[in-house]
Structure 1
Amino acid sequence: MDLLSASGSYAVYGHSPADTVDPRPDQPTLGPRAYKSRQNRPCDFCRARKAACKIAVAPPCALCHSYGRECTFVSGPQKRKRNASQAVSGDGQEPQRRRTDHADSELRLNGAGRLSTSSSPPSNSSPPASRSPVEDVLLDDDIGELNTSSRQVPGAEEAALLQNTDQPQAGRSDLRGHNVNNSVPRVGEFSLAELSTKNAALVGETGEADPYLCRRYRYENDECVLSNIVYRRIPLPPPPSLTDDAELGFAERPVIFMLPDDNLANTGEPRSDNSVLEAAQTELKTMVPTDVGVRLLKLFFRFVYPYFPVLSRTQMLAHDISTVLLDLPLSLQAGIYATSLPFLLYDDILATTIIHSPPPAARLYRICWLAIVQETHTPKLATLQACLLLLQRAPSNKYIMDTPFQWSLTAWTVSLAYLIGLGKSSVGWLGLPKWERRLRGRLWWATYVLDKWSFFGAGTPSHIRNDDFDVELPILAPNAPSTVEGSPCPSTAPVDDNAHDLLAVPSHFYHLVQLTTILSDTFDTYYSIRATSLTTNNFSLSVELAKPLRVRLKTWKDSFTASNSSAENSSPHLDTAIFSTIAPDTLDGNASLVLAYIVTVMALYRALLRAVDNLDSSLETSAYLHAAARSAVLKGAKECGKEAVEFVEDLSRGDVGVWDAFWHSCGFYTVWIQC
């Protein structure tokens, strides 16, 4: 019988306390149950569970091995209790005692992962043959819907067993998967980002576990344990009763995370010695004391967050910042410090203390990378955040493009994002804090942006396909404050992280994501290997495919210009509208977004010019139409080049408010490639 079909009606039948299993391997037999010798007594855990104690050669048994428990033989057999209906007969002889499945109270697991006792009504059905090892693991009551009703067990033997079970082995997690010294709070919500001793990986459909099989496990508090690994089920909202998707047979894939303990990856290679990491941690504390780190974090939220919101203001600024910094992993600490260094001048204290001898940014990035390599064995959200900040570093050489390490790190970051489940929309996940759901969405789109722009600049395909994620596009933050303390620029106003809408992001990041989707579609339309073969020599097809892309670019330009131009000084030109609204003492990073728009338009015209160059002049069909379209393409390409030159000239005349603002690293690459 299939295990999945049997799981719904499988019942756990108890065995006699003295029954044991012969240590020989199980052989499929027919007929009555094989004789089991009473000389080999079961271990304490199997006796309490009323499960077969299967010892192949030497302890531990199969059940204790699957739970990571010590196989002990301390407690003796439990005394049988008489049922109330079993009265003494008239001749003074006691009737034969019934051997039922629930003659004794079964020891079960309560919500905290400890053994408790519960009573079950007797059953007159005969017990089946002993379960296979696979059934013991998959269909075990401790993994399933646990009986939470408990009562006091009389007797010293049961009390001793309970006391022994409450104390897990040193260095291990208990049956609920929580370390005794660092348990996860279970009050209302559960955070995947704040697991200090575990890492969360989304269970995919082709990996070692299957989400459709995992959903058939029996969960308590949305968790179950299998082979010392906790599986966390994410509750989803109930689907609508009648929808088009339901009629077509579509259903939401089960969202289940595997939460292995970090200690299981201690032997993962390659890795650095602990002494090297400890030395790097000490060096970081020496270069950036806690008080300096607090100010650097504030500078990050003031000048970087509005353009690249990869941190959570709710979690980091709502608590004591010095404590928050100490709790951050080494990689993220170094990444935040290095990213915030260019803005030292805008802090009154740092501008007078360390401005002349700041911490070396190159060394901070090296520490960040050293820690990332170690943390990727047990990746968390903080590891991905550190990778994103490392990708945003300024190029080490001002005159040439960076090394291929940049693109390798981008691919690394994309794989981490998929591993921790960022490609799956978390808007409807129940039990996950709102701040974490907002952060997961922003981190995915930050990864998407860097992936598309980095590989576009490298001339290679992207690692993210539209079919591999379902994260909703972000929306503009409603009622965002117009100014931030110490920063008069409206565009640097951070979004309210307590906003009700889980998709709201700052204005700059919203327009960047929208523009990146257009760039991605442009690449897929013209620059993939198959698209190149179709459009290079087909001018008519190239022009036809460009029409919806040009409409989207015009819509984006109008939206961005309207959101950044004042009512008194509006300009039809994108670059003029940006530079005219920047005050001399203001940092505004929207200039990098203007550059990104120009590069996207140039990418479209490059594809059209490629088709014009390969156009066969001997073709007489629609010669007039081809001539008109060719003239329009050449004119549009000329205007695009003129706009790029004017933008560069405006940059050369720009104030420090443009140059000192936050620039996305991909902007540097594209300006060297395209201009």
Structure 2
Amino acid sequence: MEHSSPQRRRSFKIKTRFGAARQWRSRKNPPCDACRRRKTACIIETSPPCRFCRSKGQACKSTDRDVSGLLLRQRRVTPADFEPDKEIDVDVTDSPTVDTSHLSVPSLLSPVIEQVHSVLATPLTASISSPPGGSRSTSVPVSQASSSTGTYILTSNSISEDVPTVDTLEDNYNRTAHSMGLAAEQDTDLLASFRSYITNEKDGLSSDVIQATPGGLEVGSFPVHFNLLVDEFQPADDRAKLRISETIEAMVAPHALSLIRLFFKHVHPVYCVVSKARFLKAYSENRQKVPASLRGAVYGLGSMFWQHDPDVKGNLEFDLHDLFEAAHASLQREFHAPNLWGMQACLLLLYERAADNATIETPRTWVFSSHIVACAQMVGLHRDSTTWHLVQGEKKLRRKLWWATYMTDIWSSICHGNPPLVYPGSFTTSPPEIDDLAFDEDVPADIQDMVDVSSRTFDISTSARFLEMVKLSQILHELIHSYFLDISYQKTVSEPQVREANLLGVRRELKTWSSMVPNCVTMAYTVDTNISRNNAPLNLAYYAVQALLFRALMSPARMSAKSDPNSSLCRYFDQAVAEFRNFTLFMDKITRACLHAFWGGHARSQLTLCGNFLIYLFLLAPSPGQVHVAFELLGKFHESLQRLREWADDDASLALLRPVALRIDSFFLHAARIMRNGMGGAISV
């Protein structure tokens, strides 16, 4: 039987290419150097970095030498391999030029890193280590370095070894980072020790756990992790968002740019929650990079000043209610993947124009505020990011947005007297500083034509307004938690001296705040400068806190207390009258232009609080002389309201004044009878 000679083994050629998508059991494409050294799975979803390198904020690379060595080690070498006609061809394709087109929006870089990154922008560069004795690193174009190494630079601006490696939670393409609290699905200390990710049925990545900070037991801090989820939504939701976006743009055309200019001229100086330069840069490149909810909110709030701004011409044809409803509809779908863009949209949509027939604040304000708090917690704004591995700009924006959420929660809660959702133990984010608010306020020269001249550079009064409102909100928060919660009231009512001492401490804080506010947030500054820098909302908020403070100090406000000279009502009555005499002077300073400026969404309830407190003083005045003084204050306030209502020729100003005006008008309808017959009948307060 003839035995056939063994066939010559075919030579084979293995083509490997680092940089393509790689699943965890892939043998075709080599892993990166880091994963090879660690002997762990190297998963690349679409393009480097791999999951491990991205989580650590390091360069993801694979050298040719290691690739060929790995291929030789994977195959057992036999003597036949060294026959002259035997060959092993290892062909490693050149690493492609890094594609950064997936960066959907301008990254949140600090100014220093931004300057370095701009130098390395074209062509994209890789860091190549120098031999000992030479310079530490040198930058060469990736296209030139690809023959020796395939290096992929993280989107989080890992530029070179000379620049600190940073990461981002916001600018990950097609990914959304969700905060994992201490009670999340997995223990945070365990996550710090083991890599964790979730793959789907097709071995594709569904969720990755990334670490923001490792923490440290020696300093009493814990590791902080985020779930980095792939943005995969129902096709119906994607189609709906696209349809809503097109609808919004069709509504505002051809006035979109004018509305943006009006927003940053009138709204942003009073309520600076939008990352201005980042928004304008993304919008100028492709407006679709900005979510439809945020675009709709900016368009809508800007349109409220169309009537009174001399720089715009023509008429707006769209219905403002329809525009805001479209923005809300888009936001509901964006809640599947909350991010910092969505947070800015939430904070603005709360201030949509109220109905001009409203008598009390709509409950929707409080309900929507709960959405804002929940959204902020989902993206981890309530956790202090000072030590996190993030770019400085992202830290600053996160801090600003959290404190905007904090203010929204406390001021929305008092619209109906509900307990705030945010409490002292629910957050660790440090208070903002002036540098946090100054970040991203200077508009680059190439897009300055998108905004008014007054909006192109950082304005100190804009930041001061925000900072002072934060301080005032903290005082209000302390007041609410110490007295205006059911449990707090029950605990302190039996200890009036302790309660009064605590309230007097709050009053000292309020006096300190009033005496320390900078001139640029006073009413005199509003009159002397551009009226769009409206300080009236901040000053009105101060008097609203005063009203609540005196209500707590003068409690219990019962008729029997009027005849007791030692009661809290009698002891603090004259001080309350003196304070609210200043309030009537404040109302006299409101000009026509000030009335038509931006007031925010909480001014209605604050004005109602102050108006009702004047009625409170009149009804509980202990002596005839004090009754006369209280009635005089009410009369002055009534005159101011009548003057302002004559100037109110738009829906926004009418909505601001109507609730308190109805209460004061109702009071004066019955005031004569009350003064004649006492408290024998009902009165609207």
Give TM class, smaller chain: 0.5 to 0.7
Give the structure 2 partner of residue 426 of structure 1: 385
Alignment equivalent of 2:212, drawn from 230, 234, 239: 234
Asked whether the equivalents of residues 399 and 429 of structure 2 are also in contact (C-alpha less than 8 Å), the reply is yes
Give the structure 1 partner of residue 234 of structure 2: 266
What SS does structure 2 have at the residue aligned with 1:458? coil
- In the alignment, the residues of structure 2 paired with residue 70 and residue 255 of structure 1 have an alpha-carbon distance, to the nearest angstrom, of 26
Bigger mean CA deviation after superposition, 468-477 or 520-529: 468-477
Give the structure 1 partner of residue 249 of structure 2: 285
Give how far 1:107 is off. Answer: 6.8
Give ranges in structure 1 of 5+ residues lacking alignment: 1-47, 49-66, 76-105, 121-139, 168-172, 174-181, 219-223, 240-245, 498-503, 566-577
Q: Map of 1:10-409 to 2, 5 A cutoff?
A: 108-110=31-33, 150-153=66-69, 154=71, 185-188=155-158, 189-218=166-195, 225-227=197-199, 228=205, 229-235=207-213, 250-263=219-232, 265-266=233-234, 273-289=237-253, 292-317=255-280, 319=281, 321-323=283-285, 325-344=287-306, 351-353=312-314, 356-409=315-368
Give how far 1:445 is off. Answer: 0.6
Give how far 1:611 is off. Answer: 2.9
Bigger mean CA deviation after superposition, 464-473 or 439-448: 464-473
- In the alignment, the residues of structure 1 paired with residue 475 and residue 485 of structure 2 have an alpha-carbon distance, to the nearest angstrom, of 15
Give the structure 2 partner of residue 605 of structure 1: 550
| CA distance 1:361–1:382, change in 2 (3 Å) | same
Alignment equivalent of 1:541, drawn from 475, 498, 520: 498
Is 1:647 aligned with 2:586?
A: yes
Asked whether the equivalents of residues 295 and 347 of structure 1 are also in contact (C-alpha less than 8 Å), the reply is no
Give the structure 1 partner of residue 467 of structure 2: 510
Asked whether the equivalents of residues 526 and 533 of structure 2 are also in contact (C-alpha less than 8 Å), the reply is no
Give how far 1:414 is off. Answer: 0.3
- In the alignment, the residues of structure 1 paired with residue 239 and residue 436 of structure 2 have an alpha-carbon distance, to the nearest angstrom, of 48
What SS does structure 2 have at the residue aligned with 1:234? strand
Give 1:380's aligned amino acid.
N
Asked whether the equivalents of residues 212 and 254 of structure 1 are also in contact (C-alpha less than 8 Å), the reply is yes
Q: Percent identity over the alignment?
A: 21
Give how far 1:143 is off. Answer: 11
Alignment equivalent of 1:519, drawn from 454, 471, 476: 476
Is 1:469 aligned with 2:427?
A: yes
Give 1:195's aligned amino acid.
N
Give 1:293's aligned amino acid.
A
Asked whether the equivalents of residues 330 and 368 of structure 1 are also in contact (C-alpha less than 8 Å), the reply is yes
Asked whether the equivalents of residues 411 and 602 of structure 2 are also in contact (C-alpha less than 8 Å), the reply is yes
Give 1:638's aligned amino acid.
V
1:519-569 alpha-carbon deviations (Å, 9 max, x no partner): 11100111111111133454423321211111111111112264445xxxx
| CA distance 1:641–1:494, change in 2 (3 Å) | farther
Is 1:671 aligned with 2:607?
A: yes
1:274-316 alpha-carbon deviations (Å, 9 max, x no partner): 4443332221121224x73333333333322222221223423
Asked whether the equivalents of residues 263 and 302 of structure 2 are also in contact (C-alpha less than 8 Å), the reply is yes
Give ranges in structure 2 of 5+ residues lacking alignment: 1-15, 40-50, 76-87, 97-101, 103-151, 159-165, 200-204, 612-685
Asked whether the equivalents of residues 584 and 656 of structure 1 are also in contact (C-alpha less than 8 Å), the reply is no
What SS does structure 2 have at the residue aligned with 1:604? helix
| CA distance 1:357–1:148, change in 2 (3 Å) | closer
Give 1:360's aligned amino acid.
D
- In the alignment, the residues of structure 1 paired with residue 188 and residue 402 of structure 2 have an alpha-carbon distance, to the nearest angstrom, of 22
What SS does structure 1 have at the residue aligned with 2:260? helix
Give how far 1:225 is off. Answer: 3.8
Asked whether the equivalents of residues 230 and 260 of structure 1 are also in contact (C-alpha less than 8 Å), the reply is yes
Bigger mean CA deviation after superposition, 471-480 or 535-544: 471-480
- In the alignment, the residues of structure 1 paired with residue 557 and residue 177 of structure 2 have an alpha-carbon distance, to the nearest angstrom, of 51
Give how far 1:470 is off. Answer: 1.3
- In the alignment, the residues of structure 2 paired with residue 456 and residue 373 of structure 1 have an alpha-carbon distance, to the nearest angstrom, of 25
What SS does structure 1 have at the residue aligned with 2:554? helix
Asked whether the equivalents of residues 331 and 368 of structure 1 are also in contact (C-alpha less than 8 Å), the reply is yes
- In the alignment, the residues of structure 1 paired with residue 282 and residue 374 of structure 2 have an alpha-carbon distance, to the nearest angstrom, of 33
Asked whether the equivalents of residues 197 and 262 of structure 1 are also in contact (C-alpha less than 8 Å), the reply is yes
Alignment equivalent of 2:537, drawn from 580, 589, 592: 592
Alignment equivalent of 1:638, drawn from 570, 577, 586: 577
Give the structure 1 partner of residue 649 of structure 2: none
- In the alignment, the residues of structure 2 paired with residue 329 and residue 419 of structure 1 have an alpha-carbon distance, to the nearest angstrom, of 18
Give how far 1:583 is off. Answer: 4.0
| CA distance 1:602–1:629, change in 2 (3 Å) | same
Q: Map of 1:422-501 to 2, 5 A cutoff?
A: 422-430=381-389, 432-476=390-434, 495=458
Query: What is the RMSD of the two structures over their aligned residues, measured on CA atoms?
Result: 4.5
- In the alignment, the residues of structure 2 paired with residue 161 and residue 199 of structure 1 have an alpha-carbon distance, to the nearest angstrom, of 39
Give 1:459's aligned amino acid.
G
| CA distance 1:187–1:545, change in 2 (3 Å) | closer
- In the alignment, the residues of structure 2 paired with residue 352 and residue 143 of structure 1 have an alpha-carbon distance, to the nearest angstrom, of 50
- In the alignment, the residues of structure 2 paired with residue 325 and residue 107 of structure 1 have an alpha-carbon distance, to the nearest angstrom, of 39
| CA distance 1:543–1:252, change in 2 (3 Å) | same
Give 2:488's aligned amino acid.
A
What SS does structure 1 have at the residue aligned with 2:67? coil
Asked whether the equivalents of residues 553 and 572 of structure 2 are also in contact (C-alpha less than 8 Å), the reply is yes
Give the structure 2 partner of residue 500 of structure 1: none
| CA distance 1:196–1:505, change in 2 (3 Å) | farther
What SS does structure 1 have at the residue aligned with 2:355? coil
Give how far 1:410 is off. Answer: 0.6
| CA distance 1:585–1:261, change in 2 (3 Å) | closer
Asked whether the equivalents of residues 379 and 416 of structure 1 are also in contact (C-alpha less than 8 Å), the reply is yes
- In the alignment, the residues of structure 2 paired with residue 634 and residue 400 of structure 1 have an alpha-carbon distance, to the nearest angstrom, of 29
- In the alignment, the residues of structure 2 paired with residue 234 and residue 334 of structure 1 have an alpha-carbon distance, to the nearest angstrom, of 32
Give the structure 2 partner of residue 7 of structure 1: none
What SS does structure 1 have at the residue aligned with 2:176? coil
